Structure 1
């Protein structure tokens, strides 16, 4: 929580504190004015004095209202600014986090931390700038004023306050751990809900709607049971405090009436004392409520700091090497080993090859052989364990990530489109792209025909994730988006999988004719996609078991031969 406080404006805290002090002083002085009206005005029948003090009370009440508005304004504004800053910092941190770190926390948890956890911090910040300032000052001030009115009656608090502390402390003891567990249960609920939404087509295809409903109901019921339990426990607080406050009033009236009958206490002072007693008990209850919510906010702060304190595992080097773009494009893997965080076995082992400008490198292999992992090492989404990846004769670890990725056009395995228009998605690779450049890229990607057939052309709407396009159309649009960007290396991570053979062949032919100054890296499952590549890499369980042209591998690589025989007929192989 201390880290969160440091992010707040010192001026706003000072202003909120100043207004709250003014409000508390005004509120504390009003009961004294009331006692003066009764003792000196009502009892003596002095109407002028009553009017005089009445106007003074109105002035202090107005001052209290203005101060409360000022305090609320600065407290609310600062809480919202802190929330905005935290959300921005979390988002920026996640954007620059390595893939390992992103996978470790998970999407559902990151959403919860950015929304629910930040809201907890905002709420406690606002409460802190109001109640956390108001309650202790009022508690001390009201205690002093009550003692000043009648020292003997203050002995009532020697019984009342410890009694309230015992009851409220017991409630907190049982409630706080449940509040903390609710944060984790919220994570799990969001995870199940998100999986159900993103995988709704799979759920329907396998007729598993009932199963997913039960799964969600289980997570929902778990969260609900915890929420009911903690709110039931907390609900005892109000009636207990009300009972104690009512008992305090009875005790004050009982003893106060006795003191009035003996002439030791004036009626006005008794009324003022009762008001101060209520202020003391209410302040104590507000402090208690704050200490109920602080552990929840503390748990949220820990979760937020876990994201903000993530150290960048794939960071820019202190001394960067310039990437000479005047050189002919080159890509070199030198004895590369890579292991995912926490994994026992290597994901890639002894990967060694090089490619030059104008060459096409194809990567083929079974599922889980490390094809996508290899491609992800080129833009440095991960860092190698040993060996090196070199782009234009520079080790990628010695280049700024921005400069490195500026030279790479990547089409990921999952075709991702953003909500907006086709033009906006195309300009993602090159913000100042002209319509002519966009249409050219669409033509190479074999997407021009279906885009031009749309009523609004480049201005056609793209729904979330590109849901209003087929899988093949999404892939072609993603390929076009990458091609618009001038790059030294174009990497296609299994980006042709949803294309039919005719479109696949036409796209590869267009790439050969139009992308002649760059290196093209293609991850594929089909032999027909890789057959014309200059270099074919055959992976098996992370190892490079074959390297060469189609004709060479057909004669020398057993794994490649198995892939061919599984996809082609005997007469086609020849």
Structure 2
């Protein structure tokens, strides 16, 4: 945890919090002594002037203590909140630069928990450290010293009470600590089940799995609840134990003190102040133990956060990136192979092709053939295992990722829209796009017609992930967002799948006739033969292998895999 916070806490505010805490402790430690003097020198002798004078002094010290406590709380709280802000920013920035491999490794639900709940645990414990963990030891040591100076003979009581309290707290912490640590993983589980149930609600209902999902969530929720109850029940035991030991300590102090007072070996004021110091000492011990109970949970959260921050990117950026050669647009795969992490066999093997400005490549094949995997390699969502991908003759692994991504517009298999408006979603592709450019992109994507029918046009609301649009409308908006971007390479990863044949054909024709896109490289991943027939090159994939390459006419005559796909989709005269 120290590694996580040391460079994110500000030096002077932390020192200010410590200074205010010291002032508060100093004030608190002086009040029992003044009470003792008031009883011994004022109440016992009837000296009202001394009582008023000492009372005024106590009031002033108490006021200073209150102000110091407020200052400590202010600096501790603001530093904890700023720490949380910095950690969330650091996590979000890190995750944004993750490759697909890192996202797959942690999972979306776990990354969400680490960015929210785990950071909150760090914030809470930071406040406790700057408040209790600094205050408790100072109060404990100061209280013992002041109690000893007040009446040495009574300190023998602490030889019994403090060891008993330490043993009790140690036993409770030994059981509660691991339980608090496991709570974070159980929150992960709840988030995972809830997220799956929420995003897959239509599938759940379609297969009538409502009860199964409800039971799954109840199991995860019950597991978390049971663990939390055990952990907090153990912690709650410390309060009655504390009360019992404190009362026992007071009984011992009063019993010994009463004998000393009756023998005129101690004044009553000293007995009162000693009892106050005893309460301070035991309460400080209790505060310190409370911090140590919650530290294991915060430590577990810190480890989980640090794990994300320390994760090395699977997509390595060259320390001295090369410049992109802008002489002639080309994209080349040279004997490219790829394997997913921990997979036994390669997902792609010996992929070769070469494209130039104005050419369209279509990739077709069965489910799991490696089509999406291939196009994911172009923007370096994954890195190749062997071989080389060149853009304009330059190895893409030597380019900066920002420069590479500038050249590529990508429509992924699952269309995703951001919450906002149609305008704001199109501005993701080109932030300074004019309204004319937006409508032109929508016309190309065959989306302009239904957008014009909306009351607010470009300013119509888009719900999270485009939930207020149909699948085909979402795809067309995602396509429009991509083609509005000035890019050299346009990738459509099965992005026409939700479109009917007529709209599919009109969209492809519009793309081929567009001046900007006709000068770029277009890559289309498709399942339908009708989508790929007009491509300059078609690659046929089967289990990661390139089993055919050529035009539609060539492959229809010579490639058996392509012929099987045709026969499965078209009838006699259509072939």
TM > 0.5: yes
- The separation in 2 between residues aligned to 1:86 and 1:404, in whole angstroms, is 29
In the TM superposition, 1:210-359 aligns within 5 A as 210-325=211-326, 327-359=327-359
In the TM superposition, 1:22-37 aligns within 5 A as 22-37=23-38
Aligned to 1:488: 488
Aligned to 2:548: 546
In the TM superposition, 1:146-545 aligns within 5 A as 146-325=147-326, 327-514=327-514, 515-545=517-547
- Residue 349 of structure 1, CA deviation: 0.5
In the TM superposition, 1:123-134 aligns within 5 A as 123-134=124-135
Whether contact under 8 Å (2:336, 2:350) holds in the other structure is yes
- Residue 167 of structure 1, CA deviation: 0.9
RMSD between superposed Cα atoms in Å:
0.7
Whether contact under 8 Å (1:539, 1:546) holds in the other structure is yes
- The separation in 1 between residues aligned to 2:166 and 2:271, in whole angstroms, is 25
- Residue 5 of structure 1, CA deviation: 3.0
Alpha-carbon displacement from aligned partner over 1:166-187 (angstroms, at most 9, x marks no partner): 1111111111111111111110
Whether contact under 8 Å (1:329, 1:489) holds in the other structure is no
Q: Matched residue of 1:382: which SS?
A: coil
Gaps of 5+ in 1: none
Q: Matched residue of 2:491: which SS?
A: strand
- Residue 227 of structure 1, CA deviation: 1.0
Q: Matched residue of 1:508: which SS?
A: helix
Aligned to 2:16: 15
Report the TM-score, using the length of structure 1 for normalisation. Answer: 0.99
Whether contact under 8 Å (2:412, 2:493) holds in the other structure is yes
- Residue 360 of structure 1, CA deviation: 0.5
Runs of 4+ in 1 over 3 A off after TM superposition: none
- The separation in 1 between residues aligned to 2:81 and 2:342, in whole angstroms, is 38
- The separation in 1 between residues aligned to 2:226 and 2:319, in whole angstroms, is 51
Report the TM-score, using the length of structure 2 for normalisation. Answer: 0.99
**2:568 is the counterpart of 1:566:** yes
Whether contact under 8 Å (2:4, 2:306) holds in the other structure is no
Alpha-carbon displacement from aligned partner over 1:100-131 (angstroms, at most 9, x marks no partner): 00110000000110111001000000000000
- Residue 571 of structure 1, CA deviation: 2.3
- The separation in 1 between residues aligned to 2:265 and 2:437, in whole angstroms, is 95
Alpha-carbon displacement from aligned partner over 1:288-340 (angstroms, at most 9, x marks no partner): 00110111110000000000001122132012111123x23211000001111
- The separation in 2 between residues aligned to 1:440 and 1:571, in whole angstroms, is 36
Aligned length: 572
- Residue 392 of structure 1, CA deviation: 1.1
Q: Matched residue of 1:428: which SS?
A: helix
- Residue 443 of structure 1, CA deviation: 0.3
- The separation in 2 between residues aligned to 1:557 and 1:336, in whole angstroms, is 22
- The separation in 1 between residues aligned to 2:520 and 2:346, in whole angstroms, is 30
- Residue 4 of structure 1, CA deviation: 2.4
- Residue 204 of structure 1, CA deviation: 1.2
Whether contact under 8 Å (2:136, 2:285) holds in the other structure is yes
Q: Matched residue of 2:479: which SS?
A: helix
Alpha-carbon displacement from aligned partner over 1:404-428 (angstroms, at most 9, x marks no partner): 1101010011100001110000010
Q: Matched residue of 1:427: which SS?
A: helix
